[in-house]
Amino acid sequence: MPKRPLVVAHRGASDVSPEHTLAAYRRAVAAGADGLECDVRLTADGHLVCVHDRRIERTSNGRGVLSTMSLEELESFDWGSWKNPWADLDEDADLPDPDLRKVLTLDTLLSAVRDAGRPVELAIETKHPTRYAGLVERRLIEALDRYGWAHPNVGTESPVRVMSFSWLSLRRMRTMAPGLRTVLLMDRVPLRFRDGSLPTGVSYAGPSLEIVTAHPEYVDRAHKHGHQVHVWTVNADADVRHCRDISVDAIITDRPEAALKTLAEP
Ligand code: G3P
Ligand code: CA
């Protein structure tokens, strides 16, 4: 049987806890996930918080555009009571501690990874990096630096890999931290990289599930160029098996516990 892919919890265990909350990440670690995924956005007063959307309505009880709000304002909202339409959440049982319902700062998540009690990988995605002329990347590298995870030769000593759909964003971070592992997210593979190569400075390929479903041979091609392949977002059991069968290196999934169970089957 092929080696199983690493299981990376997309926005935490977002099938059973509100996405991007500390509760969701703790659940993922408790379920045995190999890694965690988060998106980062910049607040009006320069803090990085783990939130996917530009606006805050979907995942909190507040309203408005995140980048216009301070961290203090964001902390006044409840981020733990929304219901993922397809998840079976019991938020009162799941999130009795108000701290677990708060908007999650990147710093809190980095501490949780450091203190997890076992090695846990962290995949951090920069959202809309072009809007702030490099500020998101600078703040991110500064945050990683506080944990010793961005020094020039850090490589696999750092649990962190940074991801983006923007090559420019990855390049900026590589310039600041040359050893940092980078993942280029792709919802289509540009023609010149269909042979499995990647732009200079990119460590791993991050194709969508749709790409490796339509073109499973892409995985071998990337491997021949020495690149791991990390696929998103792999939820259905059949897709988890497909990724294992074509030797994908990591899957990013909303259902880490279920994916691990599927991968444990013969
Ligand atoms: O892991 C990559 C994946 O998260 C990209 O899509 O929209 O969920 O951030 P999105
Ligand atoms: Ca993401």
How many Å apart are CA 57 and CA 112, to the nearest integer?
26
125 Cα: distance to centroid of ligand 2 (angstroms): 6
Residue of 7, 10, 187 to test ligand 1 pocket, by largest number of atoms within 8 Å of CB = 10
Residue the block writes with tokens 């490589």:
155
ipTM (interface pTM): 0.98
Q: Please provide residue 160's backbone torsions phi and psi, each rounded to the nearest 5 degrees.
A: -95, 140
- The pairing of strands 181-186 and 204-207 is parallel
Superfamily in which the 6-264 domain is placed by CATH: Phosphatidylinositol (PI) phosphodiesterase (3.20.20.190)
Give ligand 1 pocket residues (Cβ under 6 A).
Answer: 10, 37, 39, 52, 125, 185, 232-233, 252
Buried b (16+ CB within 10 A) or exposed e, 50-72: bbbeeebeebbebeeebeebeee
211 Cα: distance to centroid of ligand 1 (angstroms): 14
> Which residue has its alpha carbon closest to ligand 1 atom 3?
232
Residue the block writes with tokens 């294992």:
244
Among residues 38, 74, 83, which one has the least CA distance to residue 56? 74
Domain assignments of the chain as residue spans, ordered by start: 6-264
pLDDT given at position 163: 97
How many Å apart are CA 114 and CA 212, to the nearest integer?
32
pLDDT given at position 101: 85
Residue the block writes with tokens 């259902």:
255
DSSP string, 150-182: -STT-GGGSSEEEEES-HHHHHHHHHH-TT-EE
> Which residue has its alpha carbon closest to ligand 1 atom 2?
232
pLDDT given at position 93: 47
Local confidence pLDDT in tens for the 266 residues of the chain: 668 999 999 999 998 889 999 989 999 999 999 999 999 999 999 999 999 999 999 999 999 999 999 999 999 999 987 656 555 555 444 566 777 789 999 999 999 999 999 999 999 999 876 666 789 999 999 999 999 998 877 777 899 999 999 999 999 999 999 999 999 999 999 999 999 999 999 999 999 999 999 999 999 999 999 999 999 999 999 999 999 999 999 999 999 999 999 999 98
Q: Is the dihedral of CA 265, 112, 162, 133 positive or negative?
A: positive
pLDDT given at position 131: 66
251 Cα: distance to centroid of ligand 1 (angstroms): 12
